[in-house]
Structure 1
Amino acid sequence: MSGLGKLLPSLRPESPDLLHLDFLRLLASYGIVLVHFRTNLLSPFAGREAIARNLDSFALCVDLFFVISGFVISWVYRDRIDGLGSYGRFLRKRVARLVPLHWATLLFFVLAWAAGTAVGASFDRAEKYDFDCLVPNLLMIHAWGVCGGPSFNSVSWSISAEMAMYAAFPLLFWAATRSVTGFALFFAALVAALYLFSGDQFWAERTYNLGVLRAFPGFCFGILLYRHRDRLARIAGARWWLAAAMVLFGAAAIAGTGKPWLLPLAYLIPLLGVAADMQGRVGPLVRSLAPGGRLTYSIYMLHPVVQSVFIVLIGRKLLALDGMGLTVWTLLAFPLVAVVGYLSLFLFEEPARRLMSGTSRRPSVDARGERISI
């Protein structure tokens, strides 16, 4: 058992200082899982189409991730990038964190297409197997407006957008340091312009079609939260306000509140999470669930694989489940996603990350350790 314990260690928080943000990351990742599992989950219920439309608002959890990412990267790298050499090392570590699982899930969907085509199987979403977008996926630029639709592991658009934010981080952080007021005014003007000139599609609904534009305001807001973290620490009862904001967001989303109205609340939640973390008061629920924040990226990237294999292939096609049977089967997929994510983290992602980043041992649990918000 000791050997297995070393291979599959217990989950521990990556930092003792940001437990509320880790807690938010875990909950937000399951918000995205809910969005993608909802059709099968709601199979036997009357009015399921209307309920499914409302639950789509939980897709704004991705925007919460972008805010947390801006804060966390600022927290970790605030004084670590001082030239081209350190910038290159920073990007190498970011690539090492994102690329292995991204490429692995991309390979899964390529092989799934090949196997399905060989046996003449039908695909629920055949349009996502767009091989014109294979190279952009490999290069992680498929959220930059170069693809004609969602492709392969379609949730990975946000990873493409994240990489663009990482590339721009030193410049953005420098600008926020040079004039935090000017940076705040820039952010406010940007969001106002996006609201006014979204066109036919609200800007926080973009994914493959310039999803990088969607990520930019959230990432900038995260940097602003870092710059104002001491002021945020003065918000009395921040962790209780955070709980209230989360309940309000969930209730408003279920009630069908439009995304333009919900997005400010999605930005407010990480603000209150930062405030709660800066105060250092942590309740038992947050403390117990915060270690699960380490699984966020794994859950996010692997839940489409679980959906394809466990829900669609096994549940719907092999077992011919429908109605309440399909609902129960889909409910089982929620904890399964965490199990698969845990195994992926320790057996694949961390070893691959150490190999690609040039480190030979597991990173220590440290407030300044390597972190990722998604």
Structure 2
Amino acid sequence: MSKSSSESRRAPLASTGPSEVAEGGVFSYAGLHTESEDFLHLDVLRFIAAFGVVFIHFRFDFGWSARWFDGLQSMVDLFFIISGIDICHVYGRTRWGAVNYYNFLVARVARLVPLHLLTMLAYALVPITAAIIGVSLFSPERYDWSCFAPNLLLLQSFSICDHLTFNIVNWSISAELAMYVLLPLTLGVIRQSAFRAFFLSGAAVLLLFIFVDNWWERTADWGVLRAIPAFVFGVGLKLSEKSLAKVPVPELAFWPLVAMLVAGMMVVPYHAAMLMLTYGFAALVFICDARRQAGFFTRRLAPLGQLTYSIYMIHPLVITVFVKFLGLKVLNLTGDLLFVFLAACIFSVLVFSYISYIYFEGPSRRWVRSRLSLKRLN
């Protein structure tokens, strides 16, 4: 995300969190670093997953059928699984005193909140700017000011508003933050038992199937429920790492697995079966990391995993400003010109994400942690 476990992600409350730049990363280019050799396959997979979400939100502008790419929605659940693996890897053996718990939350807030606040500010300016220049808004219901405060406070996955508003991907960040808040309780119940983690994850899935209609599709309407079984499943994978490392899944299987997963998500509608398949693929990819056998391309692409959060948070804003306003309203693009413009916009997501990660997220993260963290009690 080679250092020893005590120096990298396994260090409780270490100076770098699960998605943060580590000094002297094993692989690096253009300011992007892998933190260690531990999860190189997952680093690549979450980068691919981020662009899977991008294609979900671009598909209608390309004129693709709603059926195509629909299964890519389960990429969000894949993020929750990877997060469970990552967080357990770093904080699984932390002694949760008040100071350590506070510092953990500061680290997670420093990772998530600055870019969240920046994108929320940008989205707040969209309807104001539209009113000033006298243009109509695409999807005006998205700019529901009664939902602004819940969005700002990252509470939107708790059904405070019944529809997605402003930065529509923030519901999953809200759910992710809830998993962090509950982490000491979750780990306390699991108590380093992979069996307990898988049992709790399975029990949560079963209860959701019984009591919550279409729970796998929830976003603003209690989307936090989607995070619970996926996150706990990720914790279970991490706790069973030594056993999974014995499963004979070769490194050469990684790219075919990823291709099968993406192809399946592109042609299979998003429903419970697709979601369960995603859980299984996540386990197979984790086995590749458990066996510590990353190949040439995996090692070179892994640093791009650092851009996942930026891509995820910034791409809806690119769609709003560049596609909806500039491309469709100002330039009135159609046909091949629109197709080329959309392709350029997708590439711009990567550029803007890189700029954000290097020049905003990294500095703001360090600034927040340096000012809010307390001296740790070991």
TM-score by length of 1: 0.88
Q: Alpha-carbon deviations, 1:207-238, whole Å to 9, x = none?
A: 11111111111000011011101111111124
The corresponding residue for 2:309 is 297
1:355 aligned onto 2:344: no
Corresponding residue for 1:372? none
The residue that corresponds to 1:3 in the other structure is none
Question: Which of 174, 179, 184 is the matching residue for 2:188?
Answer: 174
Deviations 1:51-96 (A, max 9, x none): x323121011000000000010010112334311100000011011
Kindly indicate whether the alpha-carbon contact (under 8 Å) linking 2:83 and 2:231 is maintained by their aligned counterparts in 1: yes
**Which residue pairs with 2:109 in the alignment?**
95
The letter for the 2-side match of 1:121 is: V
Which residue in the other structure is 2:20 paired with? Answer: none
Give the partner amino acid of 1:295.
L
Structure 2 unaligned residues grouped into runs of 5+: 1-28, 373-378
For residues 188-224 of structure 1, give each alpha carbon's deviation from its aligned partner in whole angstroms, at most 9, with x where no partner exists.
122122223332xx21111111111111110000110
Tell me the CA shift for residue 269 of structure 1: 2.3
Answer 1 or 2: which has greater helix percent.
1
Cα pair 2:194 2:237 within 8 Å, conserved: no
Q: Which of 323, 326, 334 is the matching residue for 2:346? A: 334
**Greater relative CO, 1 or 2 (CA 8 Å, sep 6+):** 1
Q: Is contact 1:245–1:268 with CA below 8 Å preserved after alignment?
A: no
Name the CA shift for 1:133/1:104 in 2 (closer, same or farther; >3 Å).
same
Which AA in structure 2 matches 1:102? H
Change (3 A) 1:241 1:261: farther
- Counterpart of 1:12 (choices 33, 36, 55) is 33
Residues 308-364 of structure 1 deviation map (CA, whole Å, 9 limit, x = unaligned): 22222222222211122211111112221111001001111111111111179xxxx
Tell whether 2:81 aligns with 1:60: no
Alpha-carbon separation, structure 1, partners of 2:139 and 2:62: 18
C-alpha distance in 2 between matches for 1:256 and 1:321: 31
Alignment partner of 2:121 out of 98, 102, 107: 107
* Alpha-carbon shift at residue 184 of structure 1 (Å): 2.4
> CA RMSD of the aligned region, Å?
1.8
Determine the C-alpha separation between the residues in 2 that align with 1:294 and 1:277: 17
Query: Would you say the 8 A contact 1:238–1:273 is kept in 2?
Result: no
Q: Is the 8 A contact 1:238 1:275 kept in 2?
A: no
Larger mean Cα displacement after TM superposition, 293-302 or 179-188: 179-188
Among 254, 257, 272, the residue aligned to 2:284: 272
Q: Which residue of 1 aligns with 2:318?
A: 306
Asked if the contact 2:73/2:270 (under 8 Å) is kept, the reply is no
Q: Secondary structure at the match of 1:173?
A: helix
Kept in 2, the 8 Å contact 1:105–1:153? The answer is yes
In the alignment, structure 1 segments of 5+ residues that lack a partner are 1-7, 43-47, 361-374
Pair 1:151 & 2:165 matched: yes
Percent identical pairs in the alignment equals 38
What's the CA shift string for 1:93-113, capped at 9, x where partnerless? Answer: 101111100010000010111
Residue number among 126, 129, 134 corresponding to 2:143 in the alignment: 129
Q: Which residue of the partner structure matches residue 98 of structure 2? A: 84
Aligned length: 344
51, 54, 61: which is aligned to 1:33? 54
Report if the CA contact (8 A) 2:70-2:269 is conserved.
no
| Partner of residue 366, structure 1 | none
Preserved CA contact (<8 Å) 2:115 2:313: yes
| TM-score (normalizing by structure 2) | 0.87
